[in-house]
Every structure is written in structure tokens, then in C-alpha cells.
Structure 1
Amino acid sequence: MDHSVFLGYSASMSPDYELEPSVAADTPARMKAIANPLRSQILDLVLERAATVTELAEAVGRPKSSIAYHVDLLVDVGLLRVVRTRQVRAIEERFYGRVGRTIVLGDALPAGAEPVNMLAEAQAEARVPSPGKMLATLRHARIPADRADEFFSRVNEIAEEFTTLERDGDTVYGFVAAVYPTDHPTLPEAGE
């Protein structure tokens, strides 16, 4: 069964630069890079448009030197690249964008890589200002593996649609979904 995870945005969302439909997080270095919450945030920000280190630092409220370090690391592992430059006085300013719209985590983690716990990340970043503002559900179903794959494919289509919505609101909302095996108990077969 393919346990691929997709981190990214739909092909119909158009940042101001060209990028591949997907890139695989298929090395320990790439897995480690996206496991860092700040680097994941940088990757998310540049899907709206290409950005400079200065713009990224301002967006996340961190020093430019810290952001430059993380941007360089993302470039080194092949998840971020310079998409254009411009001359500002005597300095060449670089604009960074993602290599792929969607980052695909495959079946197995490379040796030494830590798993990305997207549910924990969602819980950590969620700010619920008042009761009822978070829409969530948790369900269990005893189904075959191929049905779980099929269902997740449909959920991923909804996630991609979510990311193509017009970016005109005041709040950034998150969307997290997972289909995963559990140790949830099951009832014994019904007696006749």
C-alpha cells in the first residue's frame, strides 16, 4: 500500500513563477528539511509568490540571518531555488520559489529521517479564538487497504481545492487530513 503524503498546493494555484508539479522528499536531508516547522512555513509562503529573504523574515518575524540560513538549506537539498533576481543599488536581490508545487513523501522514510507528524503540527499552530471556530472530525472505519488509498485520493483532491481558494481573507486557515492504520478495537463477528 502506498502511504504517500502530499504537502503542497494544487496545479491550478499559480504563483508568479514556474515550478514542477511535484518533488519527492526522498532523501534524509529533504525529510529533515521539511520536518522543521520554520522551513515548512517558508515553503508554504513562497507558493503564493516568490519572495526575498527580507520578505520572508518580515513575514515570520525572525532575523534575516536566521531565514537566510534556512533558505540556503532548502536550496541545498533541492526544495527551493532562485526564480529571479533584480539589482537594488549594488546588490543583487534574489527571489526564491519552490521546486515543486507538491512535496511527496513516499512509502518509507529514508534511514535517519524523522517522520513528519502533520496532525501534531496542526494542533501546535491552531489558534482558536473562541469556541466553535475549529471545524474538525475524527472517524474510524474497518476497510481494506485499497479502499483507504482510494478514500485518501479523494480527500487529497479536496485539500488541493482548499488551497486554490482566493487569498483575500484576513486569517490563514489550515487544513489537515490523514487516513492511517490504528489499533482501534473491533467487535467480534456477530453470533448466529
Structure 2
Amino acid sequence: MPTDELPDALHVTTDEQLRAVSNLTRHRIMAVLRFEPATITQIAERVGLAKGSSSYHVRLLERAGLVKVVRTRKVRGVTERYYAMAARSVVLPDPGEGGPDVLMRHAVADLEASPVGAERHVGMAHLRLTEAQFAELGARLQALAEEYRELSDPSLPDASLVFALFHPGAGARDEEGAK
């Protein structure tokens, strides 16, 4: 199934789905499947897992409805399955006040696992914005990410873009003021 036939978004709503996406290995498997279908063997190679582990994690993602089989073929009497994401993007629920943000935990883990010496751009800016500016900046960041997602070529190396625009809690502002 070409990616243009996929639904735009799959909203994570069940505990099973949340458990599935909360695991870093499954997050990395979904990243492999983001642009093109892959077999268990291909997934295992790209993520650095044993085929059995890869199969286990893919089954959990499939059971949760996050990935699906998009084609099969016979190879020496064995049916080879190609898996792909069930939607173009996965929308996670708001973690709630004080709750861990799964996406950010995975992004930090991926950043820490990136090759030493590889080019990367990481920064943080503390801003003071009106609500209108805050909303505009959020929309511009989303649009920029979508623009580059459309330019993505599966033959090129992966690159991850993570951004978070938020109002820090009172504790974070108190620490900032104490400096």
C-alpha cells in the first residue's frame, strides 16, 4: 500500500496502543516502517535486533493496530510478510500534568544513541511570547516539519526532527529565576 493511501493519523486511544508505543524498541521499529514496508528480517537488521525479538515487537504493534501487513510473497515455501505503518503519523495522548512524555523520552534516547561525531543541531531557547505568537510559532513549526516530511526520500539516511513548544510549569520558572 503506497503511503498516499494511508490515513493521515492514528490516534492512540487504548492502553494496548499506549503500551506498544511506550517501548523504545517498538518506537525504533515504527521509525523503520515510516517510509517503506519491511520484512521482519529487514527490520531486525535496521534496528539491530535478533529476528525473534523483532518478530515479537512487530506482533505487539500489529495487535495494537499501529502496523499492518501490506503485502506477502512466497520465498522457498515460506510466506514473507511486509509490514508498514497503519497511518502516516501516530498521535499520542496528552501525558497530563507531571506525566512523562513518551515522545520526548524516545527522542532523547535516539539523540543519545546517534553516532559520536555525527552532525546534529540541538538547541533550546527560552522565549516570552503572547498567546498569539505562541500559537503562530507552533503552527509554523508544524508546517515546516510537514514540508520536510513531504520532501523525504526513503533512499536517504534517516534524520529526526523533534520540537516541543510549551509553557514550563511553575517549578521550572522558579529554578530559572533562582539563577
Is the 8 Å Cα contact of residues 83 and 97 (structure 1) preserved in structure 2? yes
Instruction: Give the Cα separation in 2 of the matches to 1:156 and 1:87.
Output: 41
Deviations 1:40-67 (A, max 9, x none): 1111111221111011111122111000
Answer whether contact 2:69 2:81 (CA < 8 A) is retained: yes
TM-score after normalising by structure 1? 0.74
What is the SS of the residue equivalent to 2:25?
helix
SS of residue in 1 equivalent to 2:88: strand
Percent identity of equivalent pairs: 30
C-alpha contact (below 8 Å) 1:24/1:103 kept by paired residues: yes
The aligned residue for residue 113 of structure 2 is 125
Give 1:160 deviation, angstroms: 2.1
Secondary structure, counterpart of 1:82 in structure 2? strand
Change (3 A) 1:142 1:159: same
Distance 1:94 1:167 in 2: 19
1:89 and 1:168 map into 2 onto residues whose CA distance is 28
Deviation at 1:148, TM superposition (A): 2.7
Q: Does 1:83 align with 2:70?
A: yes
Which of residues 174, 178, 184 in structure 1 aligns to 2:173? 184
**Contact 2:11–2:92 (Cα < 8 Å) also in 1:** yes
SS at the partner of 2:173? coil
Q: What's the counterpart of residue 82 of structure 2?
A: 95
Distance 1:15 1:91, change over 3 A: same
Q: Which runs of 5+ in 2 are unaligned?
A: none
Aligned 1:65-76 pairs, distance under 5 A? 65-76=52-63
For the 8 Å contact 2:95–2:101, the answer to whether it is kept is no
Q: 1:16-165, aligned counterparts within 5 Å?
A: 18-108=5-95, 115-118=101-104, 119-129=107-117, 133-145=119-131, 147-163=133-149, 164-165=151-152
Distance in 1 between residues matched to 2:70 and 2:51, nearest whole Å? 19
Letter in structure 2 aligned against 1:56: I
Shift of 1:129: 0.6
- Tell me the number of residue pairs that the alignment of Structure 1 and Structure 2 aligns: 168
**1:17 positional shift:** 7.5
Per the TM alignment, residue 16 of structure 1 is displaced from its structure 2 partner at its CA by: 6.0
Distance 2:145 2:92 in 1: 16
Root-mean-square deviation (CA, aligned residues, Å) is: 2.7
When the two structures are superposed, what TM-score results if normalisation uses the length of structure 2?
0.79
